[in-house]
Structure 1
Amino acid sequence: MSQNPSSPTSAPPTPPSAPAGSTSEDRSARVAVTVFPVLILAAAALGFFVPAAGQAISGYTNLFLGIIMFAMGLTLTIPDFSLVLKRPLPVLIGVLAQYVVMPLVGFAVAWVLQLPPELAAGVILVGCAPGGTSSNVINYLSKADTALSVTMTSISTLIAPILTPVLTLWLAGAYMPLDAGEMALSIVKMVLIPVIAGLVIRLVLSRLVDRILPALPWVSVAGISLVVIAVVSGSADQIVSAGALVLLAVVLHNAFGYLLGYWFARVLRQPIRTARTTSIEVGMQNSGLAATLAAQYFSPAAALPGAVFSIWHNLSGAVLAMYYRRTAQRQDADPR
């Protein structure tokens, strides 16, 4: 759920070729990211106080996520993947950090906080998910490398059917049993096929898709909101008993993702702008996917960290964007 929206739990990426603030898609994406946490909080409240609403749609979360990922595919173009050939090292570093830093941080947070098995599995699964597409908009607002962010998100999403179930089985298997093969197949159905379908349609019907691009962030917002309603409605008791603990786990997971993602790139001698891009890309997860998979393969309680992450990483991402943008402006004014 980003996607964000994150994750493909979040708003679709801003086209890297677009000048800052030049398109209605840019403006729509920025508004969606700003309003998204409020809408997700409202969705969580609805699921908590009116659980019947969430239970009525709980069987459709896979469909909602597929729609989100299809919308993401519609925002992609072939040039978004060209950086893999033009700048392979920063792309490799970002994707490697995505699937090394966040899974291990999720495992460490679960161990340090001594989380119950269901919550521990949910936190680890969030860490094993690919990057969320709201990271692309946060990078744009941060004056970081948006084109690199789009490529990182795209590549991490395309390899998720392999790495997400393998890493989850390795790190969370001790907490909860998992059929990694079935999870991989689900990710192919919910993520890979819709993304590729959206990309193909963008190639074939580019003029038509260009007209609807400004509406796509709101498709993602609506989709992840519905996922959160369904997840929260099935976890009301766990929210009451362990809500503060889950929030603490999510805050730590997200914060260390930003920090370690930045230094992962810097230690490998990447420039500051690339390190900031990696920081945001690593810290912001497709938590909508994580919540959906957790509910399907673990339990409703295991989906709770993904739902909370969907809210938190957009709030923290907006704050981080303001910080990065201000420091970038100071560096532009005084390169020393």
Structure 2
Amino acid sequence: MGKVTTFASWLTKWFTAIVIVWAVFNYVVPQASLWGKSYTGYLLSIVLFGMGLTLSLDDFARILKQPLMIILGTVAHYVIMPLIAVVLCWIFHLDGPLAVGVILVGCCPSGTSSNVMSFLSRGDVALDVSIGILSTLCAPFMIPLLMQFLASQYVEIPAQQLFLTALKVVLIPVALGVICHMIFGESIAKVTPFLPIVSQLAILLIIGVVVAVNQGKLFSPETALAIPVVILHNLSGYGLGYGFSKLMYKVYPKGFRYAQQKAITFEVGMQDSALGATLAMSAFAASPITAIPSTFFSVWHNISGSILSSWWRNHDDRHGIDAESANGEHGEMAKQG
């Protein structure tokens, strides 16, 4: 078991680099992952089933105990990221499937990678996880609704298919995971160390499939604009997420402290791009490039999240900012508020 834990830690540490190498490999050798085109939904279900296995009733009780912060964080995510996507499509004059792909990844729930980044930056991981749970549970309802409202000007949105696919690959696997946790209890602890490995390998396979399917168009003039758009989308999400949490600190200083501000920053800016790619491959199968923004996002947000979490930790150490700081104050004032 020690070797499994060590490997899981190693995989998490180097996941960003592995994602880049794997994406490049599938771009050069697309045949390596084309076989998985029909299985992306199952792969994502495995990831979310694993997420469900790690959840207990206490995790859901936390949402009821801290409803304000968790609900506001989730609302911020579902307002900020979709609207940024629409604005960027307008600024860059994106149209058709590529615009739909940008908006689709913007409408997805928070990415699981945000939990890791929040931990590395000394943010409030419990809040991060809670917002992630709620945003994921809302996904089957929010994604079709937002897509119909924001993206129907580009193509006809199969709202019912989006809902059913999201229900099948999100809610049902999570619910089954939670039920298994409730039934088998402590026995689940025996498989818990394997879950990060299984989840990350499944995400890698999804990325490989999308890269392989779009190999000929990944860096074509038609899709090249997706790269700066995705980068700006993610960075704007961080900035507006942090700005929102800073504003909320003035309204509710006991809740939106420094650690919570970090968590909300990552929860707003990081998307479940694997879900975006899976939904694009399913609901917009006739236009595979719809999945390209999610693929770029999957690679980029791991890079940016790693950089931001590392910078935040080093910044706090350099200026003597305590993890329990009220609002990021330096030195002795850190824990006041």
C-alpha root-mean-square deviation of aligned residues, in Å? Answer: 1.9
Structure 2, unmatched stretches of 5+, are 250-255, 323-329
* Residue equivalent to 1:323: 311
* Residue equivalent to 2:326: none
1:126-275 alignment, distance < 5 Å:
126-242=105-221, 244-269=224-249, 270-275=256-261
Structure 1, unmatched stretches of 5+, are 1-22
Normalising to structure 1: TM-score of the pair? 0.88
CA distance in structure 1 between the partners assigned to 2:183 and 2:101 by the alignment:
38
* Residue equivalent to 1:304: 292
Aligned residues with identical type, % of pairs? 38
Aligned-pair distance for 1:27? 6.6
* Residue equivalent to 1:15: none
Normalising to structure 2: TM-score of the pair? 0.88
More relative contact order, 1 or 2 (CA 8 Å, 6+ apart)? 1
* Residue equivalent to 2:274: 288
Aligned-pair distance for 1:98? 0.9
SS in 2 for 1:175: coil
Deviation track 1:69-104 (CA, whole Å, cap 9, x = no partner) reads 111111112211222222221111110111000000
Aligned-pair distance for 1:300? 1.1
Amino acid at match of 1:127: G
Assess if the C-alpha contact under 8 Å between 1:28 and 1:215 holds in 2: no
Deviation track 1:159-212 (CA, whole Å, cap 9, x = no partner) reads 111001110121111112111111101111001000111111112212222122
Aligned-pair distance for 1:274? 1.4
Aligned-pair distance for 1:107? 1.1
* Residue equivalent to 1:334: 331
CA distance in structure 2 between the partners assigned to 1:116 and 1:236 by the alignment:
20
Aligned-pair distance for 1:48? 1.7
Aligned-pair distance for 1:50? 2.1
Closer, same or farther in 2 for the Cα pair 1:265/1:171, shift >3 Å?
same
* 4+ residue runs over 6 A deviation: 23-28
Aligned-pair distance for 1:26? 8.2
Q: Larger Cα Rg: Structure 1 or Structure 2?
A: 2
CA distance in structure 1 between the partners assigned to 2:126 and 2:6 by the alignment:
17
- 1:313 equivalent among 297, 301, 307: 301
* Residue equivalent to 1:104: 83
140-149 or 296-305, larger mean C-alpha shift: 296-305
CA distance in structure 2 between the partners assigned to 1:335 and 1:238 by the alignment:
55
* Residue equivalent to 2:65: 86
Aligned residues: 314
CA distance in structure 1 between the partners assigned to 2:224 and 2:9 by the alignment:
29
